[in-house]
Amino acid sequence: MEEEIKNPWQTLATKAIYQNPWISVREDQVINPKGGQGIYGVVSFKNKALGIIPVDAEMNTWLVGQYRYALNEYSWEIPMGGGLLEKDILESAKRELKEETGFTAAKWTKVCRLHTTNSVTDEEGFVYLAQELTAGETEFEETEDLQLRKLPLKEAVEMVMRDEITDAISVAGILKVARLLGL
């Protein structure tokens, strides 16, 4: 049994700074663990992050390529998106897989729970392995200009190792799935 660890931070005041349909930003007046006063900015997400790694019987997977505005660069990553906090995360993952790849899957395995950047955000993410795939039509959202790339899962692992895949959820998910599947 884990020992409960007491929070060494004290929050004196909280002020909402900004929000949009996806995030909210707040500024907290705090006393830090050493007793000093300061501010702490926190980004809260209105969705849970989710990633899906589709893998077929031949150990192929699919990556999604898109230009990421915040990074100002092109990114290869696993199919991913957001699931409303109040919705079942697996149902959201099924929707995202269908939207971005056209696939539905008969077998789903939760691979991991993670925090993307826990020093500034409370974002919680989940990665699923999707197997026993059935092809269908994609349903891209208005903000998505995506390319799909089919490749052996082993090659996706090599892309991670060469820093060609840098998205944190993709890196964690690909490496964990590779280990789970014995690659």
Residue 35 to residue 135: CA distance in whole angstroms: 57
Q: Is the pLDDT of residue 64 over 90?
A: yes
Q: Is the pLDDT of residue 6 over 70?
A: yes
Give the pLDDT score at 141.
63
Give the pLDDT score at 145.
75
Q: Which of 65, 70, 69, 60 is nearest to 80 (CA)?
A: 65
What backbone phi and psi angles, to 5 degrees, belong to 6? -75, 140
Residue 129 to residue 76: CA distance in whole angstroms: 18
